[in-house]
Structure formats: structure tokens, C-alpha cells
A and B are shown apart, each in its own frame.
Chain A
Amino acid sequence: MRFDARVEVTLREGIADPEGATIERALPALGFTGVHEVRAGRSFRLVVDADSEADARVLAQSLADRLLANPVLELAAVELAAR
């Protein structure tokens, strides 16, 4: 089976996010008000071949934790959709 996987890597709670803070500070200057707690992250798209959705999830989560995210700073969340 073939799955579209999206891995979203975000900073852990409590880790300073200077990028998110800078974006948040820029918003009022552009007229966007009422926006708070901006957090920057990264998104990866992968196509995964596996025997089942469970196997695909294990594979994607494992590569995300080992390579795409640094677990000291970040968390990786996996979303899957069968093709």
C-alpha cells in the first residue's frame, strides 16, 4: 500500500521560538490584530510504501524522530492518507 505522509515538526512547549515571536510582532504592522501565540515549524511531505497504515505510521514516526526532528527541541506529528 502507498500512503501520503505529512510530518509536522514543531518546537516543544517551553522552547523559545524567536522566529514565531518575530512573525507575531510583524502582524500588527500589517493590520492583522488579535493573533497570538504564533509558533514556527516545518512541514515535510513523503510517500511511504508499507503493508498497512499502522506500519506506515511506525515508519514515518520513526524517521521523523530520528532525522526530521531533534527531540531535544522539537516534536514530530505524522498524518497519513492512503493513496
Chain B
Amino acid sequence: MGPRVGVVVFPGTNCEYDAATALASLGADVRYVWHHAASLDDLDVVVLPGGFAHGDYLRPGAIARFSEVMGAVVAFADAGGAVIGICNGFQVLCEAHLLPGALQKNAGLTFLCQPTGLEVVSDRSVLTRGVAIGRRLTIPINHFSGAYVCDDATLASLREDDRVLLRYTDNPNGSVDDIAGIANERGNVVGLMPHPERASSDLLGSRDGLVLFEALLASVHAAV
């Protein structure tokens, strides 16, 4: 059996099935974790999928970060567990201070749902370990608040420590430094706006998302 992956479901999450299906297609042992769960048991990976947790009321992720499960997610991350936040999950991780910065409304004030070109710029994370630097991937985005913002000191440290993982090749939303995905200092917590699960089959127009999910499962497998 492959790595045990928990996909967290908040009220309003809507990408859990897609994420679970894509990861299971690569051999992961996937289960759903309801937002009231107080513990994560024996998981190897936690995925916070896309959607509109708690209706995105106040700000995306602002309410979700106070969910019961987030205490367990923070403890899991602190212990070195792999945590991946996709889109709304990235917003939740920033609100929970597991990742620095924030996601602001898109510069054009429009909801963006389109394939985007990405460049892998660092392999220092559980999601990009073993992926060639400079590799181009086409993966869809689907968000209204996806413009990554942080202060200058944070940006400098993200760059210096190779924690910018993915950059847009044609910045669609006004993210600072074209940032599409980042990691924490240890590389075990990753947030990205593009949806790898939506590029997980030829039927969807691209399998590029599997490059990242394969790297994730391989890096967890190596650590176990």
C-alpha cells in the first residue's frame, strides 16, 4: 500500500474528490479527514484541497484556520509531516501562519479559470523533490484571490532559501515575483495556487500535475 494521504474536507471544500482520485491513481492510500477531526492518526501526507472553505466568508481561509482539524495539521507540520495546500488550501495555510504572506484579490479583479504555464524553480520541498529545475508544466488555476503578497524581507528570505517552488511563466494574477507556489523553511509544508489534480489525465488536457504528485509520494516514501 502506498503512502497514507488524508484529504481535509471543510464545509465548502469542492476539490477533495479530484485530489483524492489523482493521488489514488498513483497508488496512494487516500482517506478524507473531516474538519472536526481532532487527530490525524497515522497519515504520511495531509492535503488541504481547493474550494471555498466556510464560504470564504471574511477572507479565504480566515474561518477555516480555526477549525478543530487545523490544530492537528499544525502539530503534524511541526513534526515534519508533509502538508500540501492547493488553492484554497494555500490560503488556509497562510492564514494559519504555516506559510508566510497572503493571497490577495487578483490584480484584474476577475475570477481566473484557465491553464497556466509554470516553471519549477526549486526542488527543495516535498512537492518538487527530484523534479528538474527549469521544467515547464501546464496546470490550471481557478481562483479570485490568488495574488501572492508578502513583505520585502519575507520575499528576500523566500528567494535566498530557495523556497519559491513554482513561478508563472505569464503572471495571470499579479503575484509578487510571479510566485505560484512556496514552501516553509523545512520544505515539508507547501502551498500552491494551481490545481495539480486538474492536470492528472490526458482527458483533462494535461498530466503535468502528476509530476508534482509523483514527487510528493516519492519523497514521503523515501522518508518513511
Which residues on A are within 8 Å of B, measured CB to CB?
A: 15-16, 18-19, 22, 67-68, 70, 72-73
Contact = CB atoms under 8 A, between A and B. Distances in A.
Given A72-B149, A72-B150, A16 B107 contact: yes
Contacts of A73: 102, 104, 149
Contacts of B174: 16, 18
Interface residues on B, range: 20 to 34
Q: Is the interface of B mostly helix, strand, loop or mixed?
A: loop
Interface in B100-125: 100-102, 104-109
A22 B104 contact: no
A18 B150 contact: no
A67 B58 contact: yes
Interface of B: 58-59, 62, 66, 94-95, 100-102, 104-109, 147, 149-151, 174
10 contacts: A16-B147, A16-B149, A16-B174, A67-B58, A67-B62, A67-B66, A70-B95, A72-B150, A73-B104, A73-B149
B104 A15 contact: yes
A16 B50 CA distance: 25
Contacts of A68: 58
A18 B59 contact: no
Nearest to A68: B58
B109 A22 contact: yes
Contacts of B107: 16, 18
B106 A18 contact: yes
A72 B106 contact: no
Contacts of B105: 18-19
